[in-house]
Structure 1
């Protein structure tokens, strides 16, 4: 009797264990199936999201490309010849000879099928919808002046963007200002002529075009010199177009190169953004030309722009007012310094126009009025020059 009871209990225990095991197995199977379904759904959702994202990117790219092509069609009569990327590879022998490099990309020497030598600026990547690229193509396409670099063509093929300029045998003005080995090639009279040429080029952009162009990046690096050292303004990537009747320009962002940007471009408290913003950059460039060709750095304890500006101003005032030689500057250098100091007045209204700058550079030093000392402050209401 006891054996039957024990046997029955043992069977019940085994059956219970089997049922528990079966239940656990079913639960695990159900969870695995649920996890599999969940994982499959997750993969499907990610796949669909990725498809939608790719489609959105393609649509945006197509829209951007369509907008770019539309802009180029709109300015077709003003834009130069369009080249394919393979054309430029042939012209530059697969981009063999590099002329220079900057934040924008690299510049290579090339030869067009008709024998003309060119400089091909291969842009690095593409920003947004290519505003800077289109700026350069459309704005410089409106120009025709001896002191403006000629844009002969461009390439817009997928992500490949390039600009084809006339070749400048003597490179940029920058190397003649800062390089010890090349400074002797340019005397003060040659530098004055270069300064006048740049002023005439800017005067043309500000007054001579059907649409006024403000360059916003005048600096030695963007002034190219041909075989006769004739200066040509280049790099219109930051340029802005405005109507001739507009004296001021509305801008949402500061643009230019540190050290050459007019104060009103980054802080409206100094005044409105206008052609006078280019005048300021020009003035800083002229002062850099004076600084690079003198021993001004050795005569100053601090090499900052502000300190140099103060030094050159004090030096000129003492020299011109007392007729005593207080600094080792030739008359042409003093004249350029006076013009530069006028151009960097904090208040835009106190800066001369580029046509006035040209006149000043052609006068004798004793015919020039000494400018007020430039200093970083809110502009005064007094006006020395018309806008």
Structure 2
């Protein structure tokens, strides 16, 4: 009887050990599977390198062109896992080397819903290409250049797009290890996905700096005329910093309201549209913008006020992108109209006009050594 009890106890111990080993092995396998999945996901997050032969295969011999510009041509492509991509083939011209390195280096570290994702790149001899997630609704520019397209989205959606862009820029300024200054925020560089969520693109002119660094040195002005902050042209307006992106975003907001109207004709004379819209708002006059839904007028007023705050002439007078996000998320009734961004206390001697914006051509350009 004692022997039977010992035998039963031994069997019990053996069963417990077997179960423990089984569970241990199962946990190890689960852990390994978890690690493998993490590594696969991590690999997917990092841009992959492709050969030029891969690029031709991905684009089916460059079959479908979806856009082009001074940088080169963009084709629609498909990866082996049926993921669609936009393939930007860069022109082999001076400057592409720096812009290519800049874009890969910058975008390789960015992961945000409102920033386009760099899927891969090609550097095969003199042939260079960048592969991005494919966004079917093209750029914001296409939807604000005419009233018909603008109304197809509606002002509520346009407000959501503006808020998404602001969150994307805020992430670039504050959400990464280093501050990323875009220096080319404009409607053409905001792409829209299938749900019209905005994603900031084109980081060829971007600059990295530490978050503690309040001033950025530059050898020359960079950006697109009409969206470039005054201080990027001349130090007389202040130092170049993240506030330069804030200015560009403000001009983008004004564009969303005005449909890219740089000037407006009034009584046979031309007025600079942002200045015209400021005067109307400040004097409580009708803004002359078509509205269809209840609440549209409040959204338009909010976009204008936030835009005017962002395009203040001096960087110190502009809000940070964090504050801009709060303004767009808040109630428009709590927003105050800023002082005129166009008033100047000092006479400006020699003026040059570019897309309605005047700047002092006598003033020195920002230089690296200063």
Range into which the TM-score falls when normalised by the shorter chain: 0.7 to 0.9
Calculate the aligned-residue CA RMSD, in Å. 2.4
SS at match of 1:130: helix
The question of 1:93 aligning with 2:44 is answered: no
The question of 1:353 aligning with 2:317 is answered: no
SS at match of 2:283: helix
The 3 A distance-change label for structure 1 pair 377 and 96 is: farther
Give CA deviations for 1:296-315 in whole Å, capped at 9, x if unaligned: 946685666xx111110011
Decide which of 314, 331, 350 is 2:279's aligned counterpart. 314
How far did residue 135 of structure 1 move? 0.4
Aligned to 2:246: 279
The question of 1:373 aligning with 2:340 is answered: yes
Q: Distance in 2 between matches of 1:218 and 1:295?
A: 17
User: Residue 291 of structure 1 contacts residue 297 of structure 1 at CA under 8 Å; is this kept in 2?
Assistant: no
- When structure 1 is superposed on structure 2, of 344-353 and 122-131 the one drifting more is 122-131
Unaligned runs of 5+ in 2: 1-42, 291-296, 347-370
SS at match of 2:248: helix
Q: Distance in 2 between matches of 1:369 and 1:248?
A: 28
Decide which of 84, 97, 108 is 1:117's aligned counterpart. 84
Q: For this pair of structures, how many residues does the alignment match?
A: 298
The question of 1:142 aligning with 2:95 is answered: no
Decide which of 91, 113, 119 is 1:152's aligned counterpart. 119
Unaligned runs of 5+ in 1: 1-75, 380-387
* TM-score with structure 1 setting the length: 0.73
SS at match of 1:142: coil
The 3 A distance-change label for structure 1 pair 246 and 225 is: same
- Rg comparison, structure with higher value: 1
How far did residue 364 of structure 1 move? 2.3
Aligned to 2:353: none
Aligned to 1:19: none
- Structure with more of its chain in helix, by fraction: 1
Q: Distance in 2 between matches of 1:159 and 1:78?
A: 26
Q: Distance in 1 between matches of 2:202 and 2:122?
A: 16
Decide which of 306, 330, 334 is 1:339's aligned counterpart. 306
Q: Distance in 2 between matches of 1:295 and 1:129?
A: 30
Counting only pairs closer than 5 Å after superposition, residues 239-278 of structure 1 correspond to structure 2 as: 239-278=206-245
SS at match of 1:182: helix
The 3 A distance-change label for structure 1 pair 115 and 160 is: same
Following TM superposition, the consecutive aligned residue runs of length 4 or more in structure 1 with deviations greater than 3 angstroms are: 76-79, 293-304, 324-329, 376-379
Q: Distance in 2 between matches of 1:109 and 1:129?
A: 21
* TM-score with structure 2 setting the length: 0.76
Decide which of 229, 235, 240 is 2:202's aligned counterpart. 235
